[in-house]
């Protein structure tokens, strides 16, 4: 076997979302912080991301994480979160998978009943508390970054679909929240008179197409920018199921999550759950220290809680926790034959 690249991974899934965790074959990237390492990785090493995430080794709905030595003394490991679309500042489902892998492979000192892991991520320090029994990670609770409602009761004009009401929240990434029943398809969609998308699995492609349209319209008409970090752009759209509308269901929702450039997230979305809780709190519909269940399109769920209030520049914010589980599905070694016509993968 000829190869000029050998990458070791542990494969897992977080509530249905496949996550590829890189545990070996990659050195430390340059940078004094994980944010700087993210920038340098994007500039100089992005072919590693596409090698692992894109076809023929990956697919459009795969998530991933690259373990790194930490850049700060109070962290156990550093991590870069990767997807087909790029390198995320934070990923809740990815964090849950990473914490599970670290415990079950013995890459951290394991303590029962709870192992506390500190992860150095581009968005900041992420604390993960892993519930452990008989050496197995049963669930992971993460303390996420300060989250906030960026803009409420916005009207976005979506070409071919008419005007839609949406809220925009931040939970590590920006999310646009819209009601699935209001997203018109079919004849009359352009003037808002079409039929809403049924909340059924066989309508996944309809949701993906609508998610692309909403994302593009939001970024063109009201692109969100984080007031402190400067992180910008909405790359996630959440379609809330009937009965999950604001004011109707404050303690639990069902949803479809579409990620850029257009794929359906199998997990409930950790940063999305944080952003949604921040929006509900801003509306006075979710109090601190109250369980909030966010159910994915395939029926899995995260449990969130708001544990404190804070400020994000001029915005009132909250500190969320997210609890979910991941399961290891295998391990792999990925190689690159020098004659492979797709050394950096490809997308369709």
What's the DSSP call for residue 225?
B
How many whole angstroms separate alpha carbon 146 and alpha carbon 16? Answer: 26
Q: Tell me if residue 288 falls in helix, strand or coil.
A: coil
Using CA atoms, how far residue 143 sits from 32, 57, 151, 165, 171, in Å, is: 23, 32, 23, 30, 11
253 CB burial (10 A radius; 0-12, 13-18, 19+):
buried
326 bridge partner residues: 14
Active site residue 91: yes
Sign of CA dihedral 342, 345, 347, 348: positive
Whether the Cβ atoms of residue 131 and residue 112 lie closer than 8 Å to each other? no
Closest C-alpha among 62, 71, 112 to residue 91:
62
Active-site entry in 54, 91, 166, 234:
91
How many whole angstroms separate alpha carbon 260 and alpha carbon 214? Answer: 11
Q: Tell me if residue 276 falls in helix, strand or coil.
A: helix
Q: Which of the residues are catalytic?
A: 91
């Amino acid at each position: 076997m000829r190869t000029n690249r050998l990458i070791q991974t542990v494969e897992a899934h977080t509530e249905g979302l496949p996550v590829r965790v890189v545990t070996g074959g990659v050195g430390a990237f340059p940078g004094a912080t994980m944010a700087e390492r993210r920038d340098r990785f994007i500039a100089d090493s992005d072919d590693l991301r596409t090698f692992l995430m894109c076809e023929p080794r990956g697919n459009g709905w795969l998530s991933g994480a690259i373990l790194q030595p930490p850049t700060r003394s109070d962290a156990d490991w550093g991590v870069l979160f990767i997807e087909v679309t790029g390198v995320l500042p934070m990923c809740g489902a990815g964090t849950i998978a990473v914490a599970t892998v670290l415990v079950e492979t013995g890459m951290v000192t394991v303590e029962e009943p709870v192992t506390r892991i500190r992860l150095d991520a581009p968005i900041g320090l992420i604390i993960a508390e892993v519930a452990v029994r008989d050496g197995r990670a049963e669930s992971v609770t993460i303390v996420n970054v300060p989250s906030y409602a960026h803009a409420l009761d916005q009207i976005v004009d979506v070409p071919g679909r008419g005007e839609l009401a949406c809220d925009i929240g931040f939970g590590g990434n920006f999310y646009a929240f819209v009601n699935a029943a209001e997203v018109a398809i079919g004849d009359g969609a352009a003037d808002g008179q079409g039929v809403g998308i049924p909340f059924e699995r066989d309508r996944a492609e309809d949701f993906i197409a609508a998610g692309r349209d909403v994302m593009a319209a939001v970024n063109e008409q009201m692109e969100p920018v984080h007031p402190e970090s400067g992180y910008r752009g909405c790359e996630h759209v959440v379609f809330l199921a009937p009965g999950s509308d604001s004011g109707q269901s404050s303690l639990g929702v069902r949803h479809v999550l579409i990620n850029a450039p257009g794929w359906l997230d199998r997990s409930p979305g950790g940063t999305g759950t944080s952003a949604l809780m921040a929006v509900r709190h801003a509306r006075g519909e979710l109090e601190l220290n109250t369980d909030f269940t966010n159910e994915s399109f395939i029926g899995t769920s995260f449990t969130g809680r708001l544990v404190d209030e804070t400020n994000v520049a001029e915005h009132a914010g909250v500190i969320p926790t997210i609890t979910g589980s991941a399961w290891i599905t295998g391990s792999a070694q990925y190689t690159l034959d020098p004659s492979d016509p797709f050394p950096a993968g490809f997308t369709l």
